[in-house]
Amino acid sequence: MEFVLGIALGLSAAATRSTFAVASVGILVVAVFAAAAFMAASGVSILTLLATLVGLNIGVAMAFVGAFALR
């Protein structure tokens, strides 16, 4: 689920064609995960953060490959 969310965030951030948007989405994902880890009563898995960030990078890459394919 987190992987798919990361892909969706990456595609939507890359669609704006703004480097600031892509970078800020990545920073916000980490900030939200850190806030959730801070508030959680039990430990959290770092693998969910890694899956989301990998999905984000794949989504951005898919958007750029799609943009170049349409040229």
Global pTM value? 0.81
Burial 1-36 (b: 16+ CB within 10 A, else e): ebbebbbebbbebbeeeeeeebeebbeebeeebeee
Taking 90 as the threshold, does the pLDDT of residue 2 lie above it? Answer: no
Q: What is the residue extent of each domain of the chain?
A: 2-70
pLDDT digits over 13-29, tens only?
888 888 898 888 889 99
Residue 37 CB coordination number (10 Å): 14
Of all helices (H) and strands (E), which one includes residue 27? Answer: helix 19-39
Question: Is the confidence at residue 67, as pLDDT, over 90?
Answer: no
* Unique residue bearing structure tokens 């980490």: 30
The predicted pLDDT at position 10 comes to 87
pLDDT tens-digit profile of 28-62? 999 999 999 999 888 888 898 899 899 989 999 99
Q: What is the pLDDT of residue 38?
A: 92
